[in-house]
A and B are shown apart, each in its own frame.
Chain A
Amino acid sequence: EDQVTQSPEALRLQEGESSSLNCSYTVSGLRGLFWYRQDPGKGPEFLFTLYSAGEEKEKERLKATLTKKESFLHITAPKPEDSATYLCAVQGAGGYQKVTFGTGTKLQVIP
C-alpha cells in the first residue's frame, strides 16, 4: 500500500525566514508526486507535479525537488500570504493508480 508521510505537522516562520517541508513516500512505481496548497475552507489548489528523481520545479517563492524516497518544498523568504496547509500526494503504478495524500504541513508565516 502506498504511504505518504509529511513533516513537520506544523511550522511557524517569521516573514523572510526560509525553510523546507518534507514529504517521504513509499510507492510501487512512482507515476507522479504532487504538491497542493489548501487554505481554510477551500479545496486543495494544485502547485506542482514531479515525475522522476532529480526533477525540480519553481513557482514564485516555492521550489519543489524530488528524490527516490522523498520530496522537499522549499519556501524562500516567505510572506504571510504563504500561510496555508501544504499537501503532498503520490500516484503509484499499482492498483487503479490512485492518488494517496499525506496529512499535510500547516504553515504559518508571521509578519
Chain B
Amino acid sequence: EAGVAQSPRYKIIEKRQSVAFWCNPISGHATLYWYQQILGQGPKLLIQFQNNGVVDDSQLPKDRFSAERLKGVDSTLKIQPAKLEDSAVYLCASSLALAGRTDTQYFGPGTRLTVL
C-alpha cells in the first residue's frame, strides 16, 4: 500500500513570497490533516478535512494560510505572504476513519520550508 505522498520535499523562499505544498493521502482515507512542526517541537494541527469539507481550522492563521481538498482526495496548503516564523516542516497525514473517530494517522515525509 502506497503511503502519504508530499511535494516538494524542500523549499526555500524569501519573506513575503508565496508557496504551496501538495499532499496525496493513502487511497480511501477519509480524513486529511496538515500539521506544522517547528524544529524541536511536536506537530501542531493547522487544518483537518473530512472528505472535502473542513472539520477544524481553528489554529490556521487564516490571514496568510489557506488550504483546500478538492474531490476529497489531494490537498494543497498555501502560504501568502510568508513570514520568517513560517520556517518549519509541514506534515500531511491521513486516516481511514471519519473525523472524530479514534484512528491511526499516517504521515507523509513532510516539506521543509525555509523563509529567508
Contacts and interface: CB of A to CB of B under 8 A. Distances in A.
Contacts of A46: 104-106
> Which of B33, B42, B44, B99 has the most chain A CB atoms closer than 10 A to its own CB?
B42
Interface string A76-111: 000000000001010100011111111110000000
Interface string B20-46: 000000000000010000001111110
Contact of B104 (A31, A41, A49, A87): A49
B109 interface: yes
Contacts of B108: 43
B99 to A, nearest CB: 6
Interface in B84-103: 91, 93, 99-102
Interface in A1-56: 4, 31-32, 34, 36, 41-46, 49, 51
Q: In terms of DSSP, what is the predominant structure of the interface of chain B?
A: loop
Interface residues of B, number: 26
A32 B102 CA distance: 6
Interface residues on A, range: 20 to 34
Nearest to B107: A43
B102 A49 contact: yes
B104 A96 contact: no
A44 B43 contact: yes
B56 A96 contact: yes
Contacts of B102: 31-32, 49, 51, 91, 97
Contacts of A4: 42
A22 B112 CA distance: 28
A48 to B, nearest CB: 10
B45 A95 contact: no
Contact of A102 (B42, B100, B105): B42
Give the top 10 A-B pairs by smallest Cβ distance, nearest first. Answer: A43-B107, A101-B42, A96-B56, A32-B102, A31-B102, A97-B100, A103-B42, A44-B107, A101-B43, A43-B110
